[in-house]
């Protein structure tokens, strides 16, 4: 980072930063950004889906700006800094002659381009991956106390960005096993773990909800070659667009002639192999592998400076990629230019229609952690996602959003037209149906607990515990129970009501922070004769059954 930057580098980097600022200002939020904005409304050391850094970026952005730019400003800063760090990491005196080629390569990468302004967990992940590579390069050149501490802090930043960051750290360390004998490398690990202690504490206090969800509770589908493995290879192409043959050709031709290049190759191949193997178990999302873009910029740019053919084709096809990407980015703002109806379109108009109808009335959405924060962002109304057994748990399952809509008149919004009091139509002709509830009351944080594994047999008597985490008593007459039978992939096939009994029939309520033990008999499954997982759900006040229990494995 000591060498003087070429003026053209500063100019292009500055133009890219300004374009991202303008894009951020004029582009409505996507649903995930609204969800992470909801995170930032109450800062914490962790959240249901992700570590807290994405929320911190939004909180910092909100100090400088309002609206969409108040969500995205720090993403613009980090994406600009990422390119600066990558340029500084490349020690080649010829690079000053290829500034434009560097930017064509970087700006032609599709998702890397999008994360130039969208605020998602991958934004800080990419920044800290670039920074770790820069710091690691300096560390192997001069391992000392300073670089050891900086590398530890950088690894912590990675892990605070996204859990996938563990792959980046592991594969870099595997590329140089002699680090096991380096006291400053151990210092880095120690510093990283110390910095990460607040998140470990949060996980412990919240029953490791994030890890349990991602590793154990997520439903999955049976293996499908087209959807999983073939889809994975499609993602590898989508990351780079038209330049993909030359990007991977440069990767295949690059040899590990020093420790740093070896780390870059281990990181790319390690991530590719890890998610290829994972593709036999689940669908791989494109953003999960975006981290390879960072080492590949260094690898491919170095190769471009030595290979005229690759340089020529990446430059030509990269410009075409950039033109297509710019067209699509304009379409995010100006809908008539978009080839598809994207999620940035129509939301503001729909929010305005709903608010015209209800004013500042609280809004409760059925199964939508996407709509709840989007409406809260653009309306300022209190919102809540009421998650039932047909959906999944999310941040609304563990934060205090439920308390803000309790015992108030609310508009309950869903995709079901039955008993609707009002209908709203979006620009894409999709409909949202609303029903007024005069005194809304839900208890979605009630927990049902079963000992694992369960010995299942229809008609067999079983027990479960009901725990009340609230600071108030709950009338048991307001509750109904059911049992969900699931497949190996945690897909629910049967949802059957049960009538559990208490030992003391005189008990009519469950006290705050108290636990009751129920007995019940397993109802005979209608569809799934041999369930692999079982879960007890609760219906309160006639609402749909919730996700109150964990997926308990059957013997």
For 115-125, what is each residue's pLDDT tens digit? 899 999 999 99
pTM of whole model > 0.85? Answer: yes
pLDDT tops 50 at residue 434 = yes
What's the DSSP call for residue 361? -
| Gap between the Cα atoms of 108 and 482, Å rounded | 52
Q: Is the pLDDT of residue 3 over 70?
A: no
Three-state SS letters, 67-105: CCHHHHHHHHHHHHHHHHHHHHHCCCHHHHHHHHHHHHH
**pLDDT, position 36:** 98
Closest by CA position to 244, among listed 187, 169, 320, 186: 320
State the average pLDDT over residues 175-194.
97
The token duo for 78 is 């980090």
pLDDT at 256 (0 to 100):
94
Residue 114 has a pLDDT of 85
pLDDT exceeds 90 at position 4: no
Closest CA to 107 of 292, 318, 250, 298: 318
Q: Measuring CA to CA, which residue among 335, 375, 377, 384 is closest to residue 357?
A: 375
Q: How confident is the model at residue 363 (pLDDT cuts 50, 70, 90)?
A: very high
In three-state form (DSSP H/G/I as H, E/B as E, the rest C), the secondary structure along 428-476 is: CCCEEEEEEECCCCCCCCCEEECCCCECCCCCCEEEEEEECCCCCCEEH
Kindly report the CA angle at 199 between 197 and 200, in degrees rounded to 5? 60
What does residue 389 show for φ and ψ, rounded to 5 degrees?
-65, -10
Inter-residue contact 151 to 111 (CB < 8 Å): no
Burial class (CB in 10 A: 0-12, 13-18, 19+), 39: buried
Q: What is the distance between the alpha carbons of residues 109 and 127, in angstroms, rounded to a whole number?
A: 15
Which helix (H) or strand (E) covers residue 537, if one does? strand 533-540
Q: Of the ranges 218-222, 247-251, 311-315, which one carries the lowest mean pLDDT score?
A: 218-222
Residue owning tokens 């953003």: 287
Is the pLDDT higher at 477 or at 418? 477
In 319-381, beta strands by DSSP E: 363-366
pLDDT at 485: 96
User: Between β-strands 383-386 and 363-366, what pairing exists: parallel, antiparallel or unpaired?
Assistant: parallel
As a three-state string, the secondary structure of 171-213 is: HHHHCCHHHHHCHHHHHHHHHHHHHHHHHHHHHHHCCCHHHHH
Domains delineated in the chain: 7-335 (no CATH), 347-437 (no CATH), 447-553 (2.60.40)
Mean local confidence (pLDDT), 49-73: 97
What is the average pLDDT score of the chain?
95
Greatest alpha-carbon pair distance for the chain in Å reads 85
């Amino acid at each position: 980072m000591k060498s003087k930057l070429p003026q053209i580098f500063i100019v292009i980097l500055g133009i890219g930063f300004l374009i991202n600022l303008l894009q951020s200002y004029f582009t409505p939020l996507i649903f995930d950004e609204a969800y992470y904005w909801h995170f930032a409304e109450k800062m914490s050391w962790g959240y249901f889906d992700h570590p807290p850094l994405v929320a911190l970026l939004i909180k910092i952005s909100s100090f400088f700006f309002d609206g969409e730019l108040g969500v995205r400003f720090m993403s613009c800063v980090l994406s600009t800094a990422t390119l600066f760090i990558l340029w500084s990491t490349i020690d080649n005196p010829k690079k000053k002659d290829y500034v434009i080629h560097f930017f064509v390569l970087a700006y032609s990468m599709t998702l890397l381009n999008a994360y130039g302004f969208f605020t998602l967990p991958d934004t800080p992940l990419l920044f800290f991956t670039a920074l770790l590579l820069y710091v690691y390069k300096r560390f192997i050149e001069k391992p000392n106390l300073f670089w050891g501490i900086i590398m530890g802090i950088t690894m912590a930043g990675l892990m605070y960005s996204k859990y996938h960051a563990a792959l980046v750290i592991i594969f870099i360390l595997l590329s140089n096993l002699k680090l096991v004998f380096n006291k400053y490398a151990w210092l880095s690990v120690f510093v990283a773990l110390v910095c990460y202690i607040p998140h470990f504490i949060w996980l412990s206090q919240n029953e490791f909800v994030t890890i349990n969800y991602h590793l154990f509770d997520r439903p999955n589908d049976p293996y499908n070659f087209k959807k999983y493995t073939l889809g994975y290879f499609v993602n590898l192409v989508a990351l780079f667009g038209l330049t993909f043959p030359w990007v991977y050709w440069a990767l295949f031709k690059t040899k590990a002639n020093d420790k740093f290049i070896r780390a870059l190759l281990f990181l790319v191949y390690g991530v590719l192999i890890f998610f290829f193997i994972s593709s036999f178990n689940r669908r791989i999302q494109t953003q999960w592998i975006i981290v390879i873009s960072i080492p590949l910029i260094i690898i491919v740019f170095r190769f471009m400076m030595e290979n005229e053919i690759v340089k020529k084709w990446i430059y030509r096809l990269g410009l075409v990629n950039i033109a297509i990407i710019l067209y699509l980015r304009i379409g995010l703002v100006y809908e008539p230019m978009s080839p598809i109806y994207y999620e940035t379109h129509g939301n503001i108009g729909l929010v305005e229609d709903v608010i015209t109808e209800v004013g500042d009335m609280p809004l409760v959405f059925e199964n939508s952690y996407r709509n709840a924060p989007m409406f809260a962002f653009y309306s300022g109304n209190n919102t809540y996602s009421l998650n039932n057994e047909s959906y999944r748990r999310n941040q609304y399952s563990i934060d205090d959003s439920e308390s803000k809509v309790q015992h108030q008149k609310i508009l309950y919004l869903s995709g079901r037209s039955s008993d609707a009091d009002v209908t709203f139509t979006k620009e894409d002709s999709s409909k949202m149906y609303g029903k007024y509830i005069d005194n809304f009351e839900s208890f979605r944080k009630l927990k049902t607990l079963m000992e694992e594994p369960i010995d299942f047999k229809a008609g067999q008597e079983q027990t479960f515990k009901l725990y009340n985490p609230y600071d108030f008593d709950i009338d048991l007459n307001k509750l109904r129970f059911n049992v969900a039978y699931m497949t190996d992939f945690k897909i629910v096939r049967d949802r059957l009501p049960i009538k559990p009994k208490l030992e003391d029939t005189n008990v009519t309520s469950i006290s705050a922070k108290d636990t009751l033990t129920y007995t019940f008999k397993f109802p005979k499954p209608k569809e799934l004769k041999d369930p692999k997982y079982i879960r007890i759900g609760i219906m309160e006040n006639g609402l749909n059954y919730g996700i109150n229990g964990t997926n308990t494995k059957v013997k």
